[in-house]
Amino acid sequence: MGFPTAVRMGFVVDVAGYGRRSAPEKIDLQQRVAAFVAEVLRDLNLRIDETHHHGTGDGMVVFLPSELDVHRALARLLRSAAEALAEDNRRYRDRMRLRIAAVIGPLGPAAIGFSGDAIVEAGRLVDSDALRGALADRPDSDLVFAVSDQLHEYAGLRTDEFRPVDVRVKEFQGRAWLWNGPAGGEPVAHPGPPVFTLAPPHPPDCVIGIRPGRIMRVHDVDIWVNSENTDMEMARFNEFSISSIIRYNGARRDAAGHVVDDVIADALAKAVDGRRPVAPGAAFVTGSGCLAGTNAVRWIIHVAAVHGEPGAGFRQVRRVGVCVANALAQAERLAREDAEVRTILFPMLGTGGAGAPAPATAGELVDAAAFHLTTTPGTRLRGIYFLAFTDAERAALEGALAGHPALRPAAHGPMWT
């Protein structure tokens, strides 16, 4: 299908040492690259079907929508690539090392693939001796990332995070900028956003805070809350939602990544037991499936945060704070039964596909959490966290926390990447 020629930012991913792998190993690597790209795009709030892309056998070519804010997207792309690759390599014995090149320029359709100098430049950069040598010189690193000279200048990146290299490949000659990146392939840690507790005279036993970024990077929270619809039917695996992420990553999968046991969705159906639709705000508890091993999650609490309207899609329920209240009531029960359960994580309920405004939602969620702590002086919980996937969600949550009269700043949260 054709698309208009436009200036776009794109990147090429290439797996080092791909040709030395066996046929089954190559298949596994292709699946891992696809999953890696999907994770990186999630950090850009994009799905793969919103990009122009194709596979290269040992990697992928991906060009982003032309309306994307390049300045912010490139900075996030760099960090996300390092984090997603480090996360991938923690799960597999076959270490995947990548060369990535990012470029900007006109891109349009062609009889075979895409047209434009940008895609040629990206291919030359990723295959250059400069990138191959950089990866060979850093045996403890799994990633080298080059940015074209034009993109580096356009995005206004800090020069102290890059070093220039001259690239000569076939007919191509030019300058690129190698990202210094996190040492050893590990993401750089930064102080977390502030956390809050109840103001005196209430005891500061439980903090309320923010976890920025993707939910799959959270490894130290006991309970995850799933934003579900009033039919309590989890999203399909290929959808872009908290429900689909929890469902897929909690399921048991074969070596090819195909689901063989839909653990969490089946458990939710059993818990609901045919009583659909459920009341807005209703909360059901299930196990966490494979998330127990990958992310140390003990329980999933599913709340009815959105409801469907014929011809209009999903809408956030009228009183979304009830979802928080009911989920926290279930969490207190779980904490009484298990001394190891002490923390809970909420997504921004109803702000995704349902499109509810982040500031208003953040205010309701924070207010419900503060009210729970105020009225539950013997709480066994020690941390109530809200997931901020986007900068807008983080700003909304920070504003709601800082402006709440019952809360006061306690300290900075955990280190985050």
Answer with the residue of higher pLDDT: 209 or 39: 209
The C-alpha atoms of residue 353 and residue 316 are separated, in whole angstroms, by 9
pLDDT band at 415 (very low <50, low <70, confident <90, very high): very low
Q: Is residue 269 pLDDT above 50, yes or no? A: yes
Do 299 and 343 meet the contact criterion of CB atoms below 8 Å apart? no
| Domain residue spans of the chain | 6-185, 194-412
pLDDT of residue 413: 53
Cβ-Cβ contacts under 8 Å for 286 (sequence gap 6 or more): 264, 267, 268, 271, 299, 300, 302
Name the token pair of 106: 């006109």
Whether 309 has a pLDDT exceeding 80, the answer reads no
Q: Which helix (H) or strand (E) holds 376?
A: none
User: What is the structure's pLDDT at 402?
Assistant: 95
> Which residue has tokens 């066996």?
22
With bands split at pLDDT 50, 70 and 90, how would you rate the model's confidence at 312?
A: low
Q: Under the phi-then-psi rule, with left for phi > 0, alpha for psi from -120 to 50, and beta for the rest, what region is 381?
A: beta
**Chain centroid to CA 121:** 29
Domain 194-412 sits in CATH at 3.40.220.10
- How many other CB atoms are found less than 10 A from the CB of residue 179? 23
Q: In whole angstroms, what is the distance from residue 131 CA to residue 134 CA?
A: 5
Q: What pLDDT was estimated at residue 137?
A: 92
> In terms of CATH architecture, what is 6-185?
2-Layer Sandwich (3.30)
As a whole number of angstroms, the distance between CA 74 and CA 162 comes to: 13
- Identify the band that residue 417 occupies on the pLDDT scale cut at 50, 70 and 90: very low
Q: Which among 281, 340, 331 is positioned nearest to 307, based on CA atoms?
A: 281
- pLDDT of residue 241 exceeding 90: no
pLDDT band with cut points at 50, 70 and 90 for residue 308:
confident
Q: Which amino acid is at 351?
A: T
pLDDT of residue 410: 87
Q: How far apart are CA 69 and CA 74, in angstroms?
A: 9
Q: What does the pLDDT read at residue 189?
A: 44
Q: What is the pLDDT of residue 203?
A: 86
Residue-wise pLDDT tens digits, 29-62: 998 999 899 989 887 878 888 899 989 989 999 9
- 97-141 pLDDT, tens per residue? 999 999 999 988 887 778 888 888 989 999 999 999 999 998 888
Tens-digit pLDDT profile for residues 179-188: 977 544 444 4
Rounded CA-CA distance 77/296 in Å is 27
| CA nearest neighbour of 10 among 137, 89, 113 | 113
H-type alpha helices, 273-413? 291-295, 321-337, 358-375, 391-402
Fold matches, 6-185 and 194-412: no
| Whether this model's pTM surpasses 0.85 | no
Structure confidence at residue 161 (pLDDT):
80
Percentage of the chain with pLDDT > 70?
A: 93
Q: pLDDT exceeding 90 applies to what percent of the chain?
A: 56
The mean per-residue pLDDT over the stretch 349-360 comes to 88
Most confident residue range from 87-91, 109-113, 194-198: 194-198
Q: What whole-number distance in Å separates Cα of residue 126 and Cα of residue 98?
A: 9
Alpha-carbon distances, residue 138 vs 45, 98, 170, 183 (angstroms): 31, 12, 25, 9
Q: Residue 190 has what pLDDT?
A: 47
And the tokens for 370?
A: 């503060």
